[in-house]
Amino acid sequence: MSVQFSGWEVVDDGASFPGVELEPSQKPQKRGVYTMYHGTSVASAKAIISKGFKQSSGGMLGKGVYVSRDKKKAAHYPLRSQISDRVVLELRVRPGRVKRIDQDNHPLQHTWHANGYDTAWVPPKCGLRSVPSGLEEDCVFDPKRVEVVGIANAPNPTIKQDLQQLLSNSKKTGKGKGKSAADVCSLCKRKTQQDSPHIKQQCWECGKNICILMTKHFCATKP
């Protein structure tokens, strides 16, 4: 007896799940939400948690929020500061459209945002003289694309506990948050990002409404 069916089953690459941790050499996907890190001082960490990130006035990649998926790189900031004043914040980052900057004097090194990109990405070990460590780095132009979700490292347990409490209070009041998941798709049951609704359409075989991010769909048995 033969069995006929229509449908599909796929393996998701992780881009639609918030908090995916990429390998250093993996390029972020446009609609992905990724775990990254930001190193800062204790005082600045409190300000960021309470009020959110602000654009830096400049830097190797111009204005933006500088982050890295490499916790070791974040742990070296602020540069020339005491270890007792360094905090690493765990983040959820929506990089959007990403431009790879992998050479010195890249033509878009400081103008990537003016050319339609949301994030500049320096891959690891690409040879940039301004990144002697060779560790991966990103610059996100819009601070609303970056949200603090945890304290990855702090000088001591007391400071870490204080920052975690501040973060908990901030989440309750809605302060210090960038744009984050705001709804759940009724079809695939995954969280959607603001300004990025899931695309829905009818199955070409059975006519049932489907979401293109569903990992599995099988058409109903026909008589």
In this structure, how many other beta carbons lie within 10 angstroms of the beta carbon of residue 104?
12
What confidence score (pLDDT) does residue 38 get? 97
The pLDDT assigned to 181 comes to 39
Instruction: Report the chain (223 residues): mean pLDDT per 10 consecutive residues.
Output: 52 50 68 89 96 91 94 92 95 93 93 95 88 91 95 96 94 60 69 68 84 78 56
| pTM for this model (two decimals) | 0.69
Domain ranges of the chain: 20-174, 187-222
Angle at 120 between CA 119 and CA 121, to 5 degrees: 115
How many CA atoms within 13 Å lie on the side-chain side of 83?
1
Contact between 78 and 41 under an 8 Å Cβ cutoff? The reply is yes
Task: Read off the pLDDT of residues 153-202 as tens digits, 9 standing for 90 and up.
Answer: 999 999 999 999 999 998 877 655 554 434 677 887 776 665 567 778 88
In this prediction, residue 180 carries a pLDDT of 43
Q: What is the pLDDT of residues 136-146, one digit of tens each?
A: 999 999 999 99
Task: Kindly tell me the sign of the dihedral angle through the C-alpha atoms of 153, 143, 31, 107.
Answer: negative
20-174: CATH topology is: Phosphoenolpyruvate Carboxykinase; domain 3 (3.90.228)
Amino acid identity for residue 168 in this structure: S
| E-state strands within 64-197 | 65-67, 87-93, 98-100, 119-122, 137-140, 146-153, 181-184, 191-193
Both tokens assigned to 119: 């994030």
Q: What pLDDT sits at residue 11?
A: 43
Residue 127: predicted pLDDT: 83
Segment (H or E) for 217: strand 216-218
Helices of type H across 96-192: 157-173
